[in-house]
Structure 1
Amino acid sequence: MLLRRAAVVASRHLFNRSYAQSAAALAPLEEDPSVLPALEYLDGFPRPDPKHNETILAIPRSASGTSASEKERKAGRVPAIVFEQEDGQHGGNKRLISVRTNQIRKLVNHLGRSFFLSRLFELEVREGGFDVDGDEGSRFVVERVRVLPRKLHLHSATDAPLNVTFLRAPSHALLKVEVPLVYRGEDVSPGLRKGSSLNTIKRTAKFLCPADIVPPYIDVDLSELDVGQKVVMGDLKVHPALKLLQSKDEPVCKIMGARVSDQRRK
């Protein structure tokens, strides 16, 4: 048993140093998480703002389908599902729940849709229901777990939340996350100061992230970019334990010079 645990620790250590594993090794580890080294956010990289820490309240839901979902929405609730992370999406430990419409709407409005989908929350599922105005309802807790919102469906006209999918996110989980990109340094970029324009190609980047260090966003530094220069996925500065799931040569943005016809008009 000691040899087996030592092998698990060595495997995790290799992931942190080499960042290159087989697909099988990237699945959630089923060993005792206490034997795995903890990962923490590093200085200089974005970390979640604690002011947005919030427990999402939920109640169990027995029925599914269009009619049942409409009844939930009319009652001020959003139909939702909680899956095991990644592989559990196809019939794993699935739980049907409903969450408060006003709570999900508030979080999405405060954070933005992309940032909501890259942030972990505590989810508390309670028997006995809750009032749409925020009454906590029964204190009998069915499940309390950290989750990552995986999918969010909004009404096309009103942006009201229609349904949400969550993934359980224990510390040993590895999560595929579309992390928002935040562009900085426009005011000092040599190319932009010359009157060129920024061609924003990507708004998110897909990474495989250990659950304890999912970044809320990734900074894209434009401060040294001149006309014709670009940033590619491989240029993004992230925690070394994150694994890029896109080509490192895929363009993120480019400083575009003025067209010849535009220069002649001047």
Structure 2
Amino acid sequence: MAQCLRGKAAAAAAAAAGVSAPWRREASASYHHTIQAVPRETSGPRAAARERRHGRVPAVLLTLAGASPGNGVAHRKLLTAERKQLVEMVKQSPYFLSTPVRLQVRAGERSNAVVHSGTVLPIKVHRDESTGHILNLVMVQADEGTMLKVNLPVEFKGESACPGLKKGGFLQKIRTSLVYLCPAEHIPPKIEVDLANLDVGDRVLMHNIPVHPSLKLLSKNETMPVCKILASKPVESETMQDLKS
């Protein structure tokens, strides 16, 4: 009995301290990593507007015809997801469009029956230009072994240690994203470019960025620089000319 009371007291103390019970943390983690959706039977502007009025976001799940994106789309599944959850997921993940997540499709809004589940990759989030509200979501099935074309954000690290920047140089960021063909199980959330050893005049080329060996860079010119360390900040006309070259 004393042990039971101590357990209840500990739980109460944890709640008072703002610490969630383990099952609550687990449920919260699942909520932020699993998109909950239900099927929708109708499409078009009116049907989409009706979904949005009820706090939902029209979504589409694409399934590729084969293991490669070049084979085209074999199936489109119309879904609807909770807007509040999607907003929270996008807020929690700065790499939402390059991070595979779980998808669980229930038979209906009030049903616990799961009709489809699996791993998907969000590839497009359409927003209202004036309000920023999420209007539509497009996902692709990301089963293990599937090759997907992914637009990966480029992040630059090591600026504080960069010799060229310490000398007063300027970091010219030429590319902020790169497209790779990735196995679904090896999609990185981002591509990191290390500046720690770059001096004035140095540059990092696309094909010089270390990535997982299973990733394939999709570019007509793999020798194009992703960034340069310039002696000084260029005038705008020079920057535009360099981007065109």
- TM-score, length-scaled by structure 2: 0.77
Query: Which structure has the bigger radius of gyration?
Result: 2
**1:93 Cα deviation from its structure 2 partner:** 1.8
Is contact 1:88-1:94 (8 Å) kept? no
Q: Deviations 1:68-107 (Å, cap 9, x if unpaired)?
A: 11111111111010011335754x2211001111111111
- TM-score, length-scaled by structure 1: 0.71
Q: Which residue of the partner structure matches residue 255 of structure 1?
A: 229
**1:116 equivalent among 75, 91, 96:** 96
**Overall identity of the aligned pairs, in %:** 39
2: CA distance between counterparts of 1:51 and 1:177? 24
**2:41 equivalent among 62, 84, 94:** 62
1: CA distance between counterparts of 2:207 and 2:174? 15
Q: Which residue of the partner structure matches residue 10 of structure 1?
A: none
2: CA distance between counterparts of 1:53 and 1:182? 23
2: CA distance between counterparts of 1:146 and 1:61? 20
Q: Which residue of the partner structure matches residue 83 of structure 2?
A: 101
Q: Look up the equivalent residue of 1:69 and give its one-letter code.
A: A
| Higher relative strand content | 2
Q: Look up the equivalent residue of 2:216 and give its one-letter code.
A: K
**1:199 Cα deviation from its structure 2 partner:** 1.0
Q: Deviations 1:96-125 (Å, cap 9, x if unpaired)?
A: 00111111111112222xx11100011011
Unaligned runs of 5+ in 2: 1-28, 236-245
2: CA distance between counterparts of 1:51 and 1:255? 42
Match status 1:211 vs 2:184: yes
Give the secondary structure class of the aligned counterpart of 2:75. Answer: coil
The alignment of Structure 1 onto Structure 2 pairs a total of residues equal to 202
Change (3 A) 1:53 1:76: closer
**1:221 equivalent among 194, 205, 208:** 194
CA RMSD of aligned residues (A): 2.1
**2:173 equivalent among 188, 196, 200:** 200
Equivalent residues in 2 for 1:1-266, closer than 5 Å? 54-85=33-64, 86=69, 90=73, 92-112=74-94, 115-129=95-109, 137-246=110-219, 247-258=221-232
